[in-house]
Chains A and B, each alone.
Chain A
């Protein structure tokens, strides 16, 4: 019976490790939970000058809406090119390698690149627009990969049926492939937005400015996001915000990210089931 005993021990050890991870998530929620008391409509919808977080929330939305709008078409077309047009071309192999490398580049490097290229070289300054472009670069791998994944699940017979009806390649892509991969495009957009809503390092010197305390009036104004607002109040100016506001801010940010992630996971589960029945 020694064997069965070791089997049980092994399972217990593995189960324990997983429990540890689950506990980390529970602990995180527990530590953030005091913020619940702070999050009221008046906290969320009043200006930061009156102790609220309206500007950071709107700024975060501005940033991810613009970033997603830039990356969605580029990412989708890249994936369509790789799967539909030239599955074996030199460019496709190159792009495939590039996407892997781009996904591994640390966000602080994207921040530096955004600063030297968009802010200085292109002369956009520390602005919402520079933030959008930097974010779009960061989101490209997520967007391409999620559209690509869905494209590969579209059965070959669907393409063949369309082509056999006399449709051209473009007509097939336009009327058959793109509608079919809509959930993938949506997932990509939502996942990318979830990523940006939590991003700090890359917007530190591209989109946010230390003294900025309002909403951007034009795309060339800097912006204030939830992450940046929390970051400077913990690191640069501890004590300016009281504890309840700080926890409220952290929990608000947490909820924004978790909502976006849940939406993305739900969409992904939906389309993964769709073609496999």
Chain B
């Protein structure tokens, strides 16, 4: 016997329609980005040369993609060790009261507007870097990586803390009972069990780093071409997001530059989706706390 009453259906429809909104929004984002990007791909506007200069109609992807890769990999190189070790500290070495306080501290770091990070990077970090390395300009890949690292580290810390705390207590107790030390348990039991979740958090941070715009724009320098090889972090860089934000203001709607920027956006969107998908797959393999 079915107990479902039929006259509630109208509300179900209304709620369902609201639920559909988010699907429609994502669909429209993809369609409209691609629609404006197609002329650029079709017209062979984009090249792989090391020059992105709208005034000469030269749109070389190398400059932008290499810059984005540099700053996001650079930021992860700083934030992954710091973030994971902090997560271990918060999850394993603190009382439950302090844990909430520490988590909130890190969460605040993640809620600070990116324009403030950019402002501080521009006013304080870039000059410091310039002085430290004896450069004329401090706006370079290193400054951008440091600023980005602080911005994405909360993602790593809060998710990793969660995962490390979800590792079943029995695993660790079993190791302890066999005579393992605290560090041995941590290194050989806890971390390997939580590994999928930790890598997932790093991937999510990677996705955020790829898409971060304003702070990066303010400290990266934004030259039209990379002057040195990609491993030189003391050169100014021009990430994809920065190119979009700088270019959209002057690009004529429907013009060559406009379509080129949408093509960059489409490539960025593809990168972000792939990275987030990987994070999602890994997260499902992470341990979950079983509530009895």
Contact = CB atoms under 8 A, between A and B. Distances in A.
A277 interface: no
The 3 closest A-B pairs by CB, nearest first: A106-B211, A198-B113, A14-B89
B114 interface: yes
Interface string B1-42: 000110110011011101111110110110011011000000
A14 B262 CA distance: 43
A273 to B, nearest CB: 11
Interface in B101-159: 102, 104-109, 111-116, 118-120, 122-124, 150, 153, 157
A199 B113 contact: yes
B27 to A, nearest CB: 9
A185 interface: no
Nearest to A9: B183
Contacts of A198: 111-116
Nearest to B27: A98
Interface of B: 4-5, 7-8, 11-12, 14-16, 18-23, 25-26, 28-29, 32-33, 35-36, 81-83, 85-86, 88-90, 92-93, 100, 102, 104-109, 111-116, 118-120, 122-124, 150, 153, 157, 181-184, 186, 204, 207, 210-214, 217-218, 241, 244-245, 248-249, 253, 261-262, 265, 268-269, 272-273, 275-276, 280
B113 A253 contact: yes
Contact of A11 (B20, B90, B93, B248): B93
A168 B100 CA distance: 40
Nearest to B111: A261
Contact of A235 (B7, B107, B218): B218
A231 B214 contact: yes
B211 to A, nearest CB: 2
A137 B82 CA distance: 33
A8 B35 CA distance: 58
Contact of B82 (A20, A81, A105, A269): A20
B26 A101 contact: yes
Interface in A242-262: 246, 250, 253-254, 257-258, 261
B108 A258 contact: yes
A195 B114 CA distance: 10
A29 to B, nearest CB: 10
Which of B23, B82, B107, B214 counts the most A-chain CB atoms under 10 A from its CB? B214
Given A108-B213, A205-B248, A234-B218, A92 B115 contact: no
Nearest to A79: B19
A99 B21 CA distance: 10
A207 interface: no
Given A25-B105, A85-B15, A91 B20 contact: yes
A78 B105 contact: no
Given A17-B81, A98-B23, A227 B115 contact: yes
B253 A120 contact: yes
Q: Give the interface residue-count category, chain A.
A: 35 or more
A105 B210 contact: no
A95 B86 CA distance: 33
Nearest to B242: A108
Given A74-B18, A108-B211, A169 B8 contact: yes
Contacts of A199: 113
A109 B102 CA distance: 32
Contacts of B272: 104-106, 109
A195 B112 CA distance: 9
A77 B186 contact: no
Contacts of A81: 12, 15-16, 18-19
16 contacts: A3-B182, A14-B88, A14-B92, A17-B81, A25-B109, A78-B18, A80-B15, A85-B12, A105-B29, A106-B241, A111-B245, A170-B11, A201-B214, A205-B249, A234-B118, A258-B112
Contacts of B93: 11, 14-15
Interface centre among A6, A94, A101, A194 (most CB of B within 10 A): A101
B273 A6 contact: no
Contacts of B5: 168-169
A85 B212 CA distance: 36
A106 B250 CA distance: 21
A6 B186 CA distance: 12
Nearest to A143: B22
B146 to A, nearest CB: 10
A106 B214 CA distance: 11
Contacts of A104: 204, 207, 211, 272-273, 275-276
Given A80-B15, A265-B104, A95 B273 contact: no
A121 B32 contact: yes
